[in-house]
Amino acid sequence: MLLCENYTSHEDSVKTPYCTTHAATGLLLYNSPVMFEFTVEAQDGRARAGRFLTPHGELLTPLFTPVGTQAAVKTLTPAQVEDTGATLVLANTYHLYLRPGDEIVRDLGGLHPFMHWSRPLLTDSGGFQVFSLAAIRKIDDEGVTFKSHIDGSLHRFTPEKAIAVQENLGADIVMVLDECAPPYDYSYVQRAVERTHRWAERCLKVRTRADQALFGIVQGGVFPDLRTASAQFIASLPFEGYAIGGLSVGETKSEMYAMVELVNDILPVNRPRYLMGVGAPEDLIEGVRRGVDIFDCVLPTRLARHHAAFSPEGRLNLQNASFARDERPLDSSCDCYTCRTFSRAYLRHLIVARETLAGTLLSIHNLRSLIRLMEEIRLAIQNHTFEALYSEWLARWRGNAKRDYTEEISS
């Protein structure tokens, strides 16, 4: 039985998952009492330290999820990703549906063996990329017709299709198809929320795999009334987890944080909460403080390919001539392979010499930085010292001259 056979014990796992079979049909039953159980082990204010059991091991939350868009975290082998301490990796349904095709991935055993990632995986629904990358031909209550950004070919995603594709890909956590609207257009957001709710129900109805957790998504832009209504409706549906979508798409930080707090106060406490596409360091700590358990973002790997690194001094642009003779590691407090091994001078040389190894080494460091931050946060929650960590971290952050990690990397 897939659910049991695929289970890989995680180093931090303590429980043995099991699965049940419907006697008459032989179908796997959803929501066994153990699988996808989410346990809040400690709470400090709204911040939670939890455990989420999946077929590929237990996830310790809060956690940051590296993005492996095309079934690969850019420039890194899965062994290198594992070394950063990553436990969950996200892959993009839109990209994999187009290339190599979800049926090929299914026939090769699913994403786990395909990309050789033995820990839990998450796929998005493909919706966000349809709305951001593809040329949309038609969106209606049934679904969305779009042109591939690769070859212009015509495709159609419906809630049913998004689930079918994700069932072929075989991640541990899959997402409902939703509509992400521009955050300030009230009537557009209102219509998108309505559609997102209908699509959420249809996704729940057609799912067939008991070894995949399905997460609902709350929309509503920056409007408290729409966010409240959406959170209440989505929370009323029997998902294994709940996500907050449509943020970090142009609104202000304080608007984002307000929406996160509002939504999390409505979502059930005994299910994981996932803030989609958010991963700047300050957003991680602010998000956890408002009850978020899971984050993902391309920021650390994209920054790396733009020669920038997280550091206690703020954003380091390694291309700068000032690093030419700098013997120090990127971050002397960091335990990653890059910081244990190379000087800033060497990294700068690789960048100037256009060696792609620079992107690899900076990706390792940037991912480890965020994952280490989450490990520290988790420990602080368990020790009920989260507020102290938060204040200290924020003071350093505010004193930091180079704190904008997102400048110049939109390409």
Q: List the catalytic residues.
A: 124, 296
When the beta carbons of 127 and 359 are compared against a copy of itself, the nearer one is: 359
Mapped to the 3 state alphabet, what secondary structure does the chain carry? CHHHHCCCCCCCCCCCCCCCECCCCCCECCCCCCCCCEEEEEEECCEEEEEEEECCEEEEECEEECECCCCCCCCCCHHHHHHCCCCCEEECHHHHHHCCCHHHHHHCCCHHHHHCCCCCEEECCCHHHHHHCCEEEEECCCCEEEECCCCCCEEEECHHHHHHHHHHHCCCEEECCCCCCCCCCHHHHHHHHHHHHHHHHHHHHHCCCCCCEEEEEECCCCCHHHHHHHHHHHHCCCCCEEEECCCCCCCCHHHHHHHHHHHHCCCCCCCCEEECCCCCHHHHHHHHHCCCCEEECCHHHHHHHCCEECCCCECEECCCHHHCCCCCCCCCCCCCHHHHHCCHHHHHHHHHCCCCHHHHHHHHHHHHHHHHHHHHHHHHHHCCCHHHHHHHHHHHHHCCCECCCCCCCCC
Least distance CB 74 / a copy of itself (angstroms):
7
Residue from 342, 390, 393, 405 binding a copy of itself (CB under 8 A): 342
Residue from 355, 387, 392, 404 binding a copy of itself (CB under 8 A): 355
Q: Is 100 in the site for a copy of itself (CB under 8 A)?
A: yes
Instruction: Please report, as residue ranges, which positions from 67 to 96 form the binding site for a copy of itself (by CB under 8 A).
Output: 70-72, 74-80, 95
Q: Is 22 in the site for a copy of itself (CB under 8 A)?
A: no
When the beta carbons of 70 and 382 are compared against a copy of itself, the nearer one is: 70
| Cα-only R_g, the chain | 21
Residue from 29, 249, 352, 394 binding a copy of itself (CB under 8 A): 352
Instruction: Please report, as residue ranges, which positions from 177 to 206 form the binding site for a copy of itself (by CB under 8 A).
Output: none
Q: Is 108 in the site for a copy of itself (CB under 8 A)?
A: yes
Contact region with a copy of itself (CB under 8 A), list: 54-62, 103-111, 162-170, 306-314: 103-111
Least distance CB 341 / a copy of itself (angstroms):
5
Burial class (CB in 10 A: 0-12, 13-18, 19+), 21: middle
Residue from 203, 217, 350, 370 binding a copy of itself (CB under 8 A): 350
When the beta carbons of 306 and 349 are compared against a copy of itself, the nearer one is: 349
Distance, in Å, from the CA atom of 362 to the CA atom of 356, rounded to the nearest integer, reads: 10
Residue with tokens 């209440």: 232
Residue with tokens 């990329």: 129
Residue from 89, 359, 371, 378 binding a copy of itself (CB under 8 A): 359
Residue from 131, 199, 346, 386 binding a copy of itself (CB under 8 A): 346
Least distance CB 402 / a copy of itself (angstroms):
24
- Residue count, binding to a copy of itself (CB under 8 A): 39
Residue from 30, 38, 114, 146 binding a copy of itself (CB under 8 A): 114
Residue from 39, 145, 343, 406 binding a copy of itself (CB under 8 A): 343
When the beta carbons of 139 and 352 are compared against a copy of itself, the nearer one is: 352
Q: Is 24 in the site for a copy of itself (CB under 8 A)?
A: no
Contact region with a copy of itself (CB under 8 A), list: 100-108, 288-296, 311-319, 401-409: 100-108
Residue from 322, 341, 385, 391 binding a copy of itself (CB under 8 A): 341
**Residues in touch with a copy of itself (CB under 8 A):** 70-72, 74-80, 95, 99-100, 104, 107-108, 114-116, 324-325, 327, 337, 341-343, 345-346, 348-350, 352-353, 355-357, 359-361
